[in-house]
């Protein structure tokens, strides 16, 4: 049961006479357009469309990777060894649909992969069969971290299947301490709150969601997307700068914006179309100066967006008793 290609590919390699671990392998997908279905078809694997699945008497174990649906108790009970889930976090930390994004967003330095048994009616609460700790590379993006953890997860899955009865015998229930929840990423998270968020928080936000949901702000009543983030900037400026203040750094072609504790830079902004920092300055900011509009009106971004798409708090809600 997968929307992820890594798990399917590693199981395919282990199937048949050459692999020696998996005798029969079939794939269940949520959508016919899923990349995993195309991979399965290329490898000659039978594909089922969810929820039309009957595993009774045909399989020993199921494997779930990034599936996103609760599995019925009836289906779990049809498999003698249950259903395994490959989850990219050190459970019970970051249960839920977006563990990798929240690992980056909250600046975790340690993460990992967990192989666990599925339990009905709730996500990510079953006993742990295998787990490995991984270091989070400095300033990595969620995509980079996810790719790395996928490789680790494929290896741990094979190690688990190679000795499944013993893994099940020695399974460990998840700790009740340190559980946190990783909700789905949504567009409301992309609004920057210049008054509340620090340089570090904006950096983490960009690396967590920036490639999927561009960071946003408001300029002159219009939504502006901020692209090509370059991190914290050194700006030589005497005087006070309210959050949202903009400075164009001509030497480096960067648009610097003041947040809660310093300046962060972007090379590209997008209104109707993408503009370099220099083009934005020449077309909008410099033009404002020529019209003698007050600087505080011209050279400032505003926090938040429409009421129906309000900006989140600086830190997403956690369901946690303790944290790393």
pLDDT of residue 295: 47
Asked if the model's pLDDT at residue 180 lies above 60, the reply is yes
- Residue 204 belongs to domain spanning: 187-309
Residue 110: in which H helix or E strand, if any? Answer: strand 110-117
The answer to whether residues 29 and 35 touch, using CB atoms and an 8 Å cutoff, is no
* CA distance to 191, 258, 264, per residue, from 117 (Å): 37, 47, 43
* Residue 139 sits in the same domain as residue 26: yes
- Name the percent of the chain lying above pLDDT 90: 63
Q: How far is CA 162 from the centre of its chain?
A: 30
Phi-psi category of 139—alpha, beta or left, where left has phi over 0 and alpha has psi -120 to 50? left
Please provide the average confidence, as pLDDT, over all residues in the chain. 85
Mean pLDDT for the stretch of residues 25-33: 86
Name 39's Cβ contacts closer than 8 Å, sequence gap at least 6. 5, 8, 9
Which residue in 161, 210, 233 sits closest to 7, CA to CA?
A: 161
- Name the percent of the chain lying above pLDDT 70: 82
pLDDT of residue 296: 47
Domain contains 316: no
Residue 39: in which H helix or E strand, if any? Answer: helix 35-42
Mean pLDDT for the stretch of residues 173-182: 96
Mean pLDDT for the stretch of residues 76-100: 96
Question: CA 186 to CA 309: how far, in whole Å?
Answer: 10
Asked if the model's pLDDT at residue 220 lies above 60, the reply is yes
Mean pLDDT for the stretch of residues 229-240: 85
* Residue 303 sits in the same domain as residue 215: yes
- Please tell me which residue, 318 or 85, carries the higher pLDDT value: 85
For the entire predicted model, the pTM comes to 0.85
* CA distance to 50, 269, 318, per residue, from 204 (Å): 35, 19, 17
pLDDT of residue 8: 52
* Residue 20 sits in the same domain as residue 155: yes
pLDDT of residue 311: 39
Question: CA 282 to CA 287: how far, in whole Å?
Answer: 7
Asked if the model's pLDDT at residue 130 lies above 90, the reply is yes
* Omega before residue 234 within 30° of 0, cis: no
* Residue 149 sits in the same domain as residue 211: no
Chosen domain end from 111, 141, 169: 169
Confidence of residue 15 (pLDDT cuts 50, 70, 90): low
Asked if the model's pLDDT at residue 266 lies above 60, the reply is yes
Domain contains 211: yes
pLDDT of residue 136: 98
Confidence of residue 12 (pLDDT cuts 50, 70, 90): low
* Residue 272 sits in the same domain as residue 127: no
* Residue 48 sits in the same domain as residue 79: yes
Chosen domain end from 137, 169, 201: 169
Which residue in 185, 219, 196, 231 sits closest to 287, CA to CA?
A: 219
Which phi and psi (to 5°) does residue 217 adopt?
A: -150, -175
Largest CA distance in the chain: 79
* Residue 196 sits in the same domain as residue 107: no
* Residue 194 sits in the same domain as residue 274: yes
What is the per-residue pLDDT across 289-311, written as a single tens digit (0 to 9) for each? 444 544 444 568 898 754 434 43
CATH classification of the domain holding 118: 3.40.50.170
- Please tell me which residue, 258 or 313, carries the higher pLDDT value: 258
Lowest mean per-residue pLDDT among 67-76, 105-114, 189-198 = 67-76
Chosen domain end from 134, 169, 204: 169
Asked if the model's pLDDT at residue 239 lies above 80, the reply is no
* Residue 197 sits in the same domain as residue 153: no
Name 307's Cβ contacts closer than 8 Å, sequence gap at least 6. none
Question: CA 89 to CA 97: how far, in whole Å?
Answer: 11
Question: Cβ of 20: how many Cβ atoms within 10 Å?
Answer: 10
Which residue in 217, 228, 286 sits closest to 258, CA to CA?
A: 217
Mean pLDDT for the stretch of residues 249-264: 95
Asked if the model's pLDDT at residue 324 lies above 90, the reply is no
* Residue 140 sits in the same domain as residue 51: yes
Question: CA 67 to CA 118: how far, in whole Å?
Answer: 12
* Residue 137 sits in the same domain as residue 210: no
Asked if the model's pLDDT at residue 153 lies above 60, the reply is yes
């Amino acid at each position: 049961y997968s929307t992820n290609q890594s798990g399917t590919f590693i199981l395919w390699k282990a199937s048949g006479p050459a692999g020696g671990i998996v005798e029969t392998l079939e794939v269940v997908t949520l959508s016919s357009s899923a990349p995993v279905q195309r991979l399965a078809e290329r490898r000659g694997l039978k594909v089922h469309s969810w929820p039309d699945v009957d595993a009774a008497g045909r399989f020993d174990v199921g494997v779930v990777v990034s599936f996103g649906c609760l599995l019925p108790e009836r289906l779990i009970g049809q498999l003698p060894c249950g259903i395994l889930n490959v989850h990219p976090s050190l459970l019970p930390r970051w249960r839920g649909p977006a563990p990798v994004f929240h690992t980056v967003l909250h600046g975790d330095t340690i993460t990992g992969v967990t192989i666990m048994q599925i339990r009905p009616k709730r996500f990510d609460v079953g006993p742990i069969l295998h787990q490995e700790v991984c270091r989070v590379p400095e300033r990595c993006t969620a995509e980079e971290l996810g790719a790395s953890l996928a490789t680790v997860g494929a290896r741990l899955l094979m190690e688990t299947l190679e000795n499944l009865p013993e893994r099940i015998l020695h399974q460990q229930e998840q700790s009740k301490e340190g559980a946190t929840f990783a909700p789905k990423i949504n567009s409301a998270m992309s609004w920057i709150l210049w008054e509340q968020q620090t340089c570090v928080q904006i950096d983490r936000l960009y690396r967590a969601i920036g490639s999927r949901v561009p960071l946003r702000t408001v300029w002159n009543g219009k939504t502006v997307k901020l692209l090509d983030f370059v991190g914290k900037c050194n700006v030589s400026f005497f005087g006070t700068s309210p959050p949202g203040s903009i400075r164009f750094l001509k030497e480096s072609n960067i648009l610097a914006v003041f947040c809660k504790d310093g300046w962060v830079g972007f090379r590209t902004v997008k209104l109707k179309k993408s503009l370099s920092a220099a083009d934005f300055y020449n077309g909008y900011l410099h033009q404002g100066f020529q019209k003698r509009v007050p600087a505080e009106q011209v050279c400032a971004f505003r926090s938040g967006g429409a009421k129906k798409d309000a900006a989140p708090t600086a830190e997403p809600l956690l369901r946690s008793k303790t944290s790393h």
